[in-house]
Amino acid sequence: MPNIVLDYPPLTYQERWKYIKARGPSALFGYVSSFFPILSWFHRYNLSWLFQDVIAGITVGLLLVPQGIAYAKVAGLDPQYGLYTSFVGSVTYCLFGTSKDISVGPITVVSLLVGEAIEKVKLENPDISGGEVAACLSVLCGCITLFMGMARMGILVDFISGPAIAGYMTGSAITIGLGQWPKLFGMSNVDTHQPPYLIFIDFFANLPNTQIDAAFGILGLAILYLVKFGTGHLAAKLPRLQKPLFFMGIMRSGLLVILATLISFGINHGHDTSPFHIIKKVPAGFNAIGVPHVRWQVITGCMGVLPSIVLILVLEHVSVAKSFGRLAGYNIQPDQEIIAIGASNMLGAFFGAYPATGAFSRTAVMARSGAKTPLAGIFSGTIVVLALYVLTPCFYFIPEAALAAVVVHAVADLMSGPTYVYELYRTSILELLVFFVGVTLTCFKDVETGIYVSVGMSLIIMLLRLARPPVTAMARAPLKSQHYPPANLSPSTPIPVISNQHYIYFDETDPHFTRAKDPMPPGIVVVRLTESVLYPNAGHVAEILTQIAKERSRNGSPIEDTKSLLWCE
């Protein structure tokens, strides 16, 4: 049979240029349109999906309004800034996102970090407002995340371990929760910007100064948990009421705020002062629309917090999107999701919003409410707009203690429980150490330190495992069957070898197989590598393989003179 040789002459530069010119416009259009996933599915939108999208969007919108107001207070901003952030995130994600379930808006941990950044900037520049700092942070986070998405850097998220994320998230939840305790009890003389352990000490020192706010805070928190567990218990016993109980459970925060506001209105109507703290006047509409002012003083003041905010924005969003995509059976594009975060924050800065990302709690509500497409976010944004233009007079009477109860109730779900800690203990002591370091530093120092140290430790552990992977020498044991080995074989008699015998291989130091070991054939050594052989570990793996081979073999060349032996032989 003759040999066939395919030999193509290389293209000249002129031919390559012609090819690029011919395909350039279509390739450029495809590249630009890839940033707008809505173009790939909107023309196929099924009107039967509209009802489910409307229901899911309205449901999440009713949750988004009280959360936006409460989280803005965590960030040290006026309530309307949380609503601005909620609106822009919900509407913009529909254009750029690849998940039908994600709800973009303010989250607790980012709100806490934004509050720290505002405090640092205003300490050095009192003339700069908190809203200006928040908008500047939104621009910076938007630019960084847009670049990461366009440069396809979403893979970097995979290098950060779960225990590192769980550590600083648990620490952040404790920090936020302790920061809201004084508001639950109406204490105005406790500095909530100090480290959490100091807040804890000051809180109990000022416990005799508890105000009437505690009636809204403690009772509100109890109602939230009662509705949460009560609706779940009743739904299991009364399947016919499962749907209304479900909506009642997910809207419990909004219902609590409405109830507390009605009681507050009844107490304060016609009075100039209130016996408890209320949020007071909230301006209607979008009063912060404009080109954001990016000052150098703000940038330098936020540099310590900025990397941690970007890290949380990307990690929280991509991990939530992947989880719900896996549950619902569709794939998300991590790089495009990062672009969606960047676009939302860039546009949000022009509305006065602060950095936002996908939230687990709202995404879970969106998924359980039956959202069919990302278009559901439009209807969530519509609810927020209605709240901004119609309900702002009602916001005047919202008790701050009720909002604090909403925040404490929300952050409790961010904490990792004893089951997760026990799993880490059984899996890896080093990963458990990373978790506890993240929690401890976040609680006793600050959130960004906990994030940087825990993430840095997890990266160091990953590099050490890559550079020094275990190389295990294997032993073997024959597989038993009804014919092999013979049942009447005495323990002292060696097991006979048959030609078609199959074996299992295991770590030769495993104590469970001590009596079942079968000797290897002469000249054969079996090893197991747990990592690929790369430049950082090639030398280490070669040394271990050589050592294993020497321990199980003899030198083939006889040494005539013992004086020529090495000192270590």
Q: Which pLDDT does position 236 carry in this prediction?
A: 83
**Distance between CA atoms of 446 and 337, rounded to whole angstroms?**
28
pTM score, two decimals?
0.81
289 three-class SS? coil
The contacts of residue 320 (CB under 8 Å, 6+ apart) are: 102, 358, 359, 360, 363
User: Residue 293: what pLDDT?
Assistant: 86
Closest CA to 458 of 499, 424, 408: 424
Q: CB under 8 Å to 423, separation ≥6 — which residues?
A: none
Q: How confident is the model at residue 490, as a pLDDT?
A: 61
**476-485 contacts at long range (C-beta below 8 A, 24 or more positions apart):** 476/503, 476/504, 476/505, 476/506, 476/517, 476/518, 476/520, 476/526, 477/503, 477/504, 477/506, 477/513, 477/516, 477/517, 477/518, 478/502, 478/503, 478/516, 478/518, 479/503, 479/504
**Are residues 369 and 60 in contact, defined by beta-carbon separation less than 8 angstroms?**
yes
- Please say whether the beta carbons of 434 and 461 come within 8 A: yes
pLDDT of residue 495: 57
In the chain, where the domains are located: 32-464, 470-481+501-549
Strand partners, 503: 478
Residue 492's pLDDT is 59
| Angle ∠(176,182,188) on CA atoms, nearest 5 | 125
C-alpha separations of 241 from 230, 245, 336, 401, 486 in Å: 13, 6, 39, 31, 65
Rounded Cα–Cα distance for residues 373 and 54 (Å): 10
Q: What is the pLDDT of residue 347?
A: 94
* H and E: helices and strands count for the chain: 22, 5
Which structure tokens are listed for 317? 């969003």
- pLDDT the model gives residue 569: 66
Splitting the chain (569 residues) into consecutive groups of 10 residues, what average pLDDT does each group show? 66 80 78 85 87 89 89 90 93 91 90 91 88 93 92 82 87 88 87 84 88 90 90 84 83 88 88 85 87 88 89 89 85 91 94 91 85 91 92 87 89 86 90 92 86 90 89 84 54 59 84 80 86 87 88 70 70
Return d(Cα 397, Cα 207) in angstroms, integer.
25
What pLDDT was estimated at residue 560? 58
Q: At what angle do helices 252-268 and 48-74 cross, to 10 degrees?
A: 60
> Using CA atoms, how far apart are residues 140 and 118, in angstroms rounded to an integer?
14
